[in-house]
């Protein structure tokens, strides 16, 4: 029987009155607001953190204008304005301001940045020919180009002419510099390796046949002949490198600092010269992109605070991939046995408790275990068996990318085991029983029914392992990560092309080194944020790849049903 509008309104009023009698806690409203507020706070914190890293890392290589700031005492300072603050007002300063000026010239001034106290209404000026000079090994300097000279003879003496001469000659100088680098890192490195191999062969003959054997004497004769021929080649290459360096050092540019200091630097020592106040938007964008290219593709310079991070980038990706290849098969097999084969009992419960506890062990403990077991036991035994001639210098009995990958594989193994067990448990028991009913064996059921449908969950475990392993630093400091190395673990120009015993650079350790071990943390801050942004990008990229593969597997098996 339908109600009239008056009756409906009366019923609604009775319901509202009844609800007022019941406390709001009983309806769960406070819990809903508390949960929603916690979610909003978590999203805000994560967004703020990522946003700060993206902003600071993204603008790290943007060329800022170079300002001239007059201090309260009348002195003038030149640099990039980083921050402007106020000095507490009193009768002495009248509310003056202070400016954090990145003035560089560390070798001459002793600091990269300093606070300058200025007048309350200060206005910086921007000299037209103030330039930022990025040196190869001495940091950065800020000044005004004053002279261009060749063989000690001044050819240009005004900033515009010096800039034109710099652009005219820098192409040829850069080409000669690249040739020097190719000879040093390529040809000379190969000669050094051949010399080491010759000495190693002689040492092997001594250990195998004895000091007075004919084989050892022949090996020594071959070694002496090879070293003599290689010495001649090395002498020719050293002479060629010296000639190229001599030509490059003929060209010099003089710079005048704001304090009156004048210095000359060879053009070969100048990586980049940026007339920041003369650049258009397109010019600034060109410098910005070129700095990113250098950052991603070149080796570090000046105690890692300048240049690129290519060895660290390469080492991080290779280590993460090796770790994933190592941890996934063992984790899946262990979870498969625990779930599908092992009978419930004390031993299985003990293993599960151990796996869950291992997930909470501090990462540095795994680093100590990796150093003692992989390096000092396994690696030392490998050296004893296969690299006796190289002893006492260890080959595998020290930190390397293989031992680092295995250590992180142990660190992330509990994550993969737990995720895989949950994925196997999510496969309905009815599917197993149906497979058994059709005459399939247990292994056939696992291979063709259980594992394919558990693969998305297994990929979830792999994603979690990648996310944790790629950012770990503490264990790597003990088992292979180093501050600086130019020898990559994979080198296609040198047999056997794969060198698992080599130490490597890692982005996480690189960030630690820049932030806490550099001579000036303020100067290294842009590189810290840029490296952090890159590390986050690598982790996100690897995870997105795994998520894409997981989504494909889910669609595939959903369609198969």
Peptide bond into 164 cis (omega under 30): no
Query: What does the radius of gyration of the chain's CA atoms come to, in whole angstroms?
Result: 33
Give yes or no for residue 275 having a pLDDT over 90: yes
As given in the structure block, the two tokens for residue 554 are 């889910």
Span of 66-70, 316-320, 550-554 with lowest mean pLDDT: 550-554
pTM reported for the whole predicted model: 0.84
Fill in the DSSP letter of residue 2. Answer: P
How many CA within 13 A on the CB side of residue 510?
32
Give yes or no for residue 506 having a pLDDT over 60: yes
Alpha-carbon gap, residue 517 to 162, rounded angstroms: 37
As given in the structure block, the two tokens for residue 118 are 């200025």
As given in the structure block, the two tokens for residue 273 are 């010269």
Fill in the DSSP letter of residue 152. Answer: T
The predicted-structure confidence for 527-552, as pLDDT tens digits, reads as follows: 889 999 998 888 888 888 878 877 88
Look at the domain 310-506 and name its fold.
MetI-like fold (1.10.3720)
Residue 239: pLDDT band (50, 70, 90) is very high
More confident residue, 132 or 543: 132
The predicted-structure confidence for 375-405, as pLDDT tens digits, reads as follows: 999 999 998 888 888 888 888 999 899 999 9
3-state helix, strand, coil in the chain (%, to 5): 65, 15, 25
Give yes or no for residue 497 having a pLDDT over 70: yes
By three-state DSSP, how is residue 145 classified? strand
As given in the structure block, the two tokens for residue 293 are 């290219």
Give CA angle at 12 (10, 17), nearest 5°.
95
Using alpha carbons, select from 58, 63, 76, 57 the residue that is nearest to residue 125.
76
Q: What is the mean pLDDT of the chain?
A: 86
Give yes or no for residue 26 having a pLDDT over 70: no
How many CB atoms sit inside 10 A of residue 428's CB?
Answer: 11
Partnered with residue 322 across adjacent β-strands are none
Residues ≥6 apart with Cβ < 8 Å to 186:
493
* Portion of the chain with pLDDT greater than 90, in percent: 31
How many CB atoms sit inside 10 A of residue 107's CB?
Answer: 11
Report DSSP letters for 57-95, one per residue: HHTTT--PPPEEEE-TTS-EEEEEEEEEEEPPP-TTTSS
Residue 3: pLDDT band (50, 70, 90) is low
Alpha-carbon gap, residue 511 to 515, rounded angstroms: 6
400 near 477, Cβ under 8 Å?
A: no
Span of 7-21, 189-203, 295-309, 448-462 with lowest mean pLDDT: 7-21
390 near 445, Cβ under 8 Å?
A: no
Give yes or no for residue 273 having a pLDDT over 90: yes
**Would you kindly state where each structural domain of the chain is located, as residue ranges?**
67-126, 150-254, 310-506
As given in the structure block, the two tokens for residue 378 are 């396994």
- Residue ranges of alpha helices (H) inside 249-280 are none
Give yes or no for residue 464 having a pLDDT over 90: no
Residue 40: pLDDT band (50, 70, 90) is very high
As given in the structure block, the two tokens for residue 480 are 């292979």
**Ramachandran region, residue 94 (left: φ > 0; alpha: ψ -120 to 50; beta: rest):** left
As given in the structure block, the two tokens for residue 43 are 């999203």
């Amino acid at each position: 029987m339908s109600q009239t509008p008056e009756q409906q309104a009366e019923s609604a009023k009775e319901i509202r009155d009844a609800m007022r009698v019941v406390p709001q806690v009983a309806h769960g409203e406070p819990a809903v607001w508390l949960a929603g507020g916690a979610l909003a706070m978590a999203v805000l914190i994560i967004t703020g953190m990522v946003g700060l890293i993206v902003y600071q890392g993204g603008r790290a290589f943007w060329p800022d204008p170079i300002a001239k700031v007059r201090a309260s005492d009348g002195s003038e300072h030149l640099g990039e304005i980083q921050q402007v603050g106020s000095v507490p007002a009193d009768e002495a300063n009248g509310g003056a301001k202070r400016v954090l000026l990145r003035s560089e010239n560390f070798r001459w001034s002793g600091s990269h940045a300093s606070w300058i106290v200025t007048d309350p209404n200060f206005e910086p000026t921007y000299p037209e020919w103030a330039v930022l000079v990025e040196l190869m090994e001495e940091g950065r300097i800020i000044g005004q180009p004053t002279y261009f000279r060749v063989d000690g003879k001044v050819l240009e003496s005004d900033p515009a002419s010096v800039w034109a001469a710099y652009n005219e000659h820098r192409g040829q100088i850069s080409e000669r510099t690249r040739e020097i680098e190719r000879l040093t890192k390529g040809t000379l490195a190969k000669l050094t390796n051949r010399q080491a191999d010759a000495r190693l062969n002689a040492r092997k003959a001594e250990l195998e046949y004895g000091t007075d054997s004919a084989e050892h004497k022949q090996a020594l004769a071959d070694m002496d002949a090879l070293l003599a021929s290689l010495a001649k080649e090395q002498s020719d290459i050293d002479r060629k490198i010296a000639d190229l360096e001599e030509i490059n050092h003929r060209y010099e540019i003089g710079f005048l600092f704001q304090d009156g200091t004048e210095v000359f630097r060879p053009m070969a020592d100048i990586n980049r010269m940026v007339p920041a106040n003369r650049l258009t938007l397109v010019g600034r964008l060109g410098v910005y992109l070129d700095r990113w290219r250098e950052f991603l593709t070149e080796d570090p310079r000046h105690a890692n605070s300048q240049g690129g991070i290519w060895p660290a980038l390469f080492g991080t990706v290779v280590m993460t991939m090796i770790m994933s290849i190592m941890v996934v098969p063992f984790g899946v097999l262990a979870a498969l046995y625990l779930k599908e084969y092992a009978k419930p009992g004390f031993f299985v419960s003990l293993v599960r408790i151990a796996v869950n506890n291992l997930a909470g062990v501090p990462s540095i403990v795994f680093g100590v275990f990796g150093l003692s077991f992989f390096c000092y036991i396994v690696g030392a035994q490998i050296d004893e068996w296969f690299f006796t001639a190289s002893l006492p210098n260890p080959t595998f009995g020290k930190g390397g990318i293989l031992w680092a990958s295995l250590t992180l594989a142990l660190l992330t193994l509990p994550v993969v085991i737990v995720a895989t067990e949950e994925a196997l448990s999510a496969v309905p028991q009815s599917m197993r029983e149906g497979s058994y009913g059709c005459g399939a064996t247990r292994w056939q059921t696992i291979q063709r029914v259980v594992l394919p449908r558990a693969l998305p969950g297994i990929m979830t475990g792999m994603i979690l392992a990648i996310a944790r392993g790629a950012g770990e630093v503490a264990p790597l400091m003990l088992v292979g990560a180093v501050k600086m190395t130019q020898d990559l673990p994979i080198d296609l120009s040198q047999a056997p092309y794969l060198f698992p015993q080599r130490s490597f650079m890692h982005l996480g350790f690189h960030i630690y080194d820049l932030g806490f071990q550099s001579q000036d943390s303020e100067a290294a801050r842009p590189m810290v944020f840029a490296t952090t942004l890159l590390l986050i990008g690598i982790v996100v990229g690897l995870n997105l790849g795994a998520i894409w593969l997981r989504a494909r597997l889910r669609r595939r098996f959903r369609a198969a049903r």
